[in-house]
Structure 1
Amino acid sequence: MIVHPDFDPVAVSLGPVSVRWYGLMYLIGFAAAWILGRCRASRPGSGWTALEVDDLVTYMVLGVVVGGRVGYMLFYDLPALAANPLSLFMVWQGGMSFHGGFLGVLTVVWLWGRKTGKGFWGVADFTAPLAPFGIFAGRIGNFINGELWGKATNLPWGVLFSDPRAGGVPRHPSQLYEALLEGAALFTIVWLYSAKKHKPGAVSGVFSLYYGIFRFAVEFVRLPDPQLGYLAFGWLTMGQLLSLPVIALGLWLILRPAHEPAAA
């Protein structure tokens, strides 16, 4: 058994300004996307400039934050949003959804593809390898905050969280499972796959497929959000339900004929 270090949620305090670990992890994720994007743009024949990467990442930050927050309130806490619409802006209370952020980024990709003439899949395939590092950082932030833990376990790496709602029993560190799978493993798979030229949408398809599979699998040992519980069968979670169309999208993008025209 491992005892959670019970980190101070504030990483750095500078007078009245406090920087929380979770926000810092987001910042690290965006910085990594920027660095990796510039690295990809520097490749011969990439068709991208450093300035285009700078602008795209800026808009992606907005897509992730706005989409992630709106998605969380719609998918996971709709009654609270209906009771108090202003709760949408209470970001200090927590609540971000990957699937909402994913939709936010897709919106940015579509708009950016039209603006620059690169097309939707041209932008999506370029950005797909940039995202997993941010997912990794976000999940580490979840672990630092001692939130989104898993089911009780007797495994030697079970973590004892200090939050009374954790019941005082060792639990699966599902945040770390997701960091390793949705972050490190997904980055390795997509980055290596994108090193070669593929049909439009294929890189995005690999990202979607493996993210959906990894997320669906980890949800079996992660506790569902308490306000929702299990949706069906005593095991189906909202995270799994939202991952199904992501998996389906990935399969379609990978398996569709190469000559099929990509969406603009």
Structure 2
Amino acid sequence: MTFPVYIGIGSLRIHPHILFESLAYATAFRLLIKRVRKDSITPSQRTSVIVGGMIGALIGAKMLVWLQHIDLIWQNQQQLLLLLLQGKTVVGALLGGLIGVEITKKILGIHQSTGDVFVFPLTVGTAIGRIGCFLTGLSDRTYGIATTLPWGVDFGDGVPRHPTQLYEILFLLLLIIFLSWRSRFQYENGELFKFYLISYFAFRFLIDFIKPDFHPFLGLSAIQIACLLTILYYRRSIPQMVQLKN
């Protein structure tokens, strides 16, 4: 397999990152539109919350990816410029989106939790997007460190590496199955989102140990620090879904 793996549609050859990122956004948005019908806030409030979350996600995705690769400032100015223009991270987008939503809710005077409707759209969208990350190869900078394991993947530099993108897709698929099962039980409004956030951030905290990223903070990367702080903040909010729905 030669990376990036371009996708042929008719006479077109589409870059995998562009194709699967677009599919991820479209699928997530479609799922979100279906699920917001079950929400308790008004349509106008929900629209404002979504816009606030999108703005926050855009800012957070950029800010955290800059911190994650701050080492490029004195190593490779060309890669740094490309990163500033194209780089983003899911963890930063989630945190930025969460902050954007909370600010919007405070402005509008919304006190109830609004995160549960986002869980499945975010999980499915992230899994689809990671397919594009894997097929893009080295330039996406989401690959793992070198490995001698039989499933190591050579992304084009002659070094078999952990396919961390595939690990994440597998984790997200298992998370979708688990959350679908747990949704049969009673839980407080907002706990499903908190459980999703803690689960995903715990996974990212662990998986980033086998990524060749800059780890300046006590051996941790900027993304790992963000994940750890979020987990500590929500550590007492893991949902206890013990009663079956009628």
CA contact (8 A) 2:54 2:100 kept: no
1:103-122 aligned at under 5 Å gives the runs 103-114=95-106, 117-119=109-111, 122=113
2:221 match: 237
Q: Which of 146, 152, 164 is equivalent to 2:146? A: 152
* 1:250 to 2:234 alignment: yes
Q: Which of 4, 7, 11 is equivalent to 1:7? A: 4
CA contact (8 A) 2:131 2:165 kept: yes
1:259 match: none
1:162-205 Cα deviation digits (max 9, x unpaired)? 1x3xxx12111011111221x32233333443454422432222
* 1:219 to 2:193 alignment: no
Distance 1:239 1:197, change over 3 A: same
Letter aligned with residue 210 of structure 2:
V
Distance 1:159 1:107, change over 3 A: same
Letter aligned with residue 152 of structure 1:
A
1:101 Cα deviation from its structure 2 partner:
0.9
CA distance in 2, matches of 1:35, 1:133: 11
TM-score when normalising by structure 2: 0.75
CA contact (8 A) 2:67 2:222 kept: no
2:187 match: 198
Give the number of equivalent residue pairs.
Answer: 234
CA contact (8 A) 2:60 2:93 kept: yes
1:210 Cα deviation from its structure 2 partner:
0.6
CA RMSD of the aligned region, Å?
Answer: 3.6
1:94 match: 86
SS at 1:252's partner residue?
coil
Unpaired segments ≥5 residues, structure 1: 257-264
* 1:176 to 2:166 alignment: yes
Once the two structures are overlaid, the 10-residue window that deviates more, 46-55 or 244-253, is: 46-55
Distance 1:255 1:58, change over 3 A: closer
Give the % identical residues: 25
Letter aligned with residue 171 of structure 1:
R
TM-score when normalising by structure 1: 0.71
1:150 Cα deviation from its structure 2 partner:
1.3
Letter aligned with residue 230 of structure 2:
V
1:72 Cα deviation from its structure 2 partner:
1.2
SS at 1:149's partner residue?
coil
CA contact (8 A) 1:150 1:171 kept: yes
